[in-house]
Amino acid sequence: MGRLEGKVALVTGAASGLGAAAAAMLVEEGARVVAGDLELEKMQTAFEAQSDRVLPLRLDVTSESDWEAAVGRALQEFERLDILVNSAGILLLQDIESTSLTDWRRVHAVNLDGCFLGCKTAIGAMKQTGGGSIINLSSVSGLVGGHNLAAYNASKGGVRLLTKSVALHCARHGYGIRCNSIHPTFIETPMLDALLERVEDPDAVRASLTRQIPLGRLGRTEDVGKMIVYLASDESAFVTGTEMVIDGGATA
């Protein structure tokens, strides 16, 4: 407890899944959190008990004006921004021949453009208060390919290399801003639940996914949340420009 006392975070995709877990764990460690998502009412209900430390905002990560408003609100309410967690993302299960240009652009708009806009906007705010930590949620699909993940692979791979570019840029200019990416495997989230709902035998598919992980289970949101807290804290002061793989050994 208290590893993030006095720090202010902005978390996207905070209405559910990894974003919601990250926001809750950051609060547990003492941070105040601006929680951004399209589902404002859902966040207001989820964080009602932490209303003194969580400020829910409607945020479309593909909108530059929404990003400017969200970061501006963080500065207005809390006078600083120390942590950005780019967690918003969408999944598309389609191979290259099945993927329309519209779907390709939609996946990249959320997964990559949203990350780009978040990094760009947050850097300006973090420079004002002496630095910070940017944490971009990629995926093991940003490291290895899948036959039916054309747009998702490309977008998450883009997040990985954008992270490195941001880290080097901030280090070169002495901003005191670190930037790292996290690459989870299959995690027990609403996104995974939605995926399993589309198959004939969800139990068989879940078992198949689990067999791909040497540690013998699917990931949990807290597995990723603990890494987010570490990267947000001063414990990771010498960590930047790298990818943190949380996959139970799947890519070993």
The average pLDDT across 243-252 equals 98
| Domain membership of residue 192 as a residue range | 188-218
pLDDT for the residue numbered 192 = 87
Based on the fold, state whether residues 214 and 117 are members of the same structural domain: no
- pLDDT tens digits, residue range 72-102? 999 999 999 999 999 999 999 999 999 999 9
> Would you say residue 3 lies in a domain?
no
> Would the pLDDT of 16 be above 80?
yes
> Would you say residue 252 lies in a domain?
no
Which residue bears the tokens 């692979």?
153
Residue numbers annotated as active site: 152
- pLDDT tens digits, residue range 164-196? 999 999 999 999 999 999 999 999 988 888 888
pLDDT for the residue numbered 190 = 85
| pTM score above 0.85 | yes
When pLDDT is cut at 50, 70 and 90, the band that residue 157 belongs to is very high
Based on the fold, state whether residues 85 and 198 are members of the same structural domain: no
Q: How many domains does the chain have?
A: 2
Least trusted range by pLDDT, from 9-13, 147-151, 207-211? 207-211
> Would you say residue 195 lies in a domain?
yes
Segment 101-110 long-range contacts (CB within 8 Å, at least 24 positions apart): 103/151, 104/150, 104/151, 107/151, 107/152, 107/155, 108/151, 108/154, 108/155, 108/158, 109/62, 110/61, 110/62
Residue 50 sits in a domain whose CATH number is: 3.40.50.720
Q: Is 58 helix (H, G, I), strand (E, B) or coil?
A: strand
pLDDT for the residue numbered 179 = 99
